[in-house]
Amino acid sequence: MAILNVKPTRMELTTLRKRLATATRGHKLLKDKQDELMRRFIELIRKNKALRMDVEKELHESFQEFLLASAVMSPELLKQAVAYPKESISVEIKKKNIMSVNVPAMNFIRKLEGDEGSIYPYGFVQTSSELDDAISKLYGIMPKLLELAEIEKATQLMADEIEKTRRRVNALEYRTIPDLEETIRYIRMKLDENERSSITRLMKVKDIIQKEA
Amino acid sequence: MIYMYKVAVVGDKDSILGFKALGVDVFPVVEKDEARRVVDTLARHKYGIIFITEQTASLIPETIERYNNQMLPAVILIPSNQGTLNIGMDMINKNVEKAVGTNIL
């Protein structure tokens, strides 16, 4: 541990003591923040992983059906069938604050919410039933996919923040605080030493004066 | 701050055509430069979520990385119709390692 480059004066000692108090307090707070972030993160990441596995599996199935549909239908007809979607999905994004990390809180808005009609944007004459299956499957996955987007973004942002916080906690714990303590001790020693030396000097001077008198 | 954002899907044409029927905007891309340009343009134009197929994402890892530590847009990887490359899963695991230090899952 290095002693900071300061002059051993009483004023310096006071400032350093204040800094140490701040650093210790900051360290405690950051440590608490890190613990809580970690707890939330682990909760979320487990959900994230399960959800992703689920979504990937279901998407795969849907793609398979879509592939079947494109095999049965001509590419032009397929393109034409989906060209003018009935449904329209948009997303309302608010900021949510998890332990000072801003994560998006997404709320999905479907234009057809509450509409009981068919979700298919085409007539049934020129299209195959495989396409219907594929699209209805995809439609079913969509809420999960959007939830995945929200959670995955949150975990990404939180992972960054946790890394940053950990660095700060470590820097305070292993560098700043020991350095400050060391320096404070050094200054105290030095001041004591000065005091002792001035006392001996005074005693010496007194002796000399008494001898001369 | 509430604002309506749009949702986009980027990837090869065959994989993402189905999303179009759901009213999500689809952007078929083939090449690397094209993919990068599309993603950057979408990010600037009020798209809150960009789903991108892993095949396409594997061409432009730096671009994806760049959006990872911003709040918006959320760039989310999805498998394409050729199956998954496990990039999405890897990213979860990488996040865990980054945050915890070791992979605890």
- pLDDT of B22 higher than 90: no
| CB of B23 less than 8 A from some CB of A | yes
- pLDDT of A186 higher than 90: yes
Select the residue of B3, B80, B99 nearest A38 (Cβ to Cβ): B99
A93 to B79: CB separation less than 8 angstroms, yes or no: no
Interval A45-67 mean pLDDT: 87
Q: DSSP code of B26? A: E
A15-39 pLDDT, tens per residue?
999 999 999 999 999 999 999 999 9
- pLDDT of B20 higher than 70: yes
User: How far A18 CA lies from chain B's nearest CA (Å)?
Assistant: 32
Residue A1 pLDDT grade (very low, low, confident, very high; cuts 50, 70, 90): low
Interval A105-122 mean pLDDT: 70
Tell me the C-alpha distance between A80 and B25, whole Å.
15
| CB of B102 less than 8 A from some CB of A | no
At a CB cut-off of 8 Å and minimum separation 6, what does A85 contact?
A121, B20, B21, B22, B23
| CB of B67 less than 8 A from some CB of A | no
| CB of B95 less than 8 A from some CB of A | yes
Torsion sign over Cα A107, A108, A109, A115: negative
Taken as a whole, chain A contains a residue count of 213
Q: DSSP code of A175? A: I
A153 to B14: CB separation less than 8 angstroms, yes or no: no
User: How far A71 CA lies from chain B's nearest CA (Å)?
Assistant: 11
Residue bearing the bigger pLDDT, A10 or A140: A10
Tell me the C-alpha distance between B82 and B18, whole Å.
15
Answer yes or no: pTM beyond 0.80: yes
Select the residue of A45, A106, A149 nearest B96 (Cβ to Cβ): A45
B5 to A90: CB separation less than 8 angstroms, yes or no: yes
For residue A37, the model assigns a pLDDT of 92
Tell me the C-alpha distance between A155 and A38, whole Å.
10
β-pairing verdict for B25-28 and B3-11? parallel
- Exposure letters A140-175 (e unless 16+ CB within 10 A, then b): ebbeebbbbbbbbbbbbbbbbbbeebbebbeebeee
User: Which helix (H) or strand (E) segment is B1 a member of?
Assistant: none
B49-70 pLDDT, tens per residue?
899 988 888 888 888 888 887 8
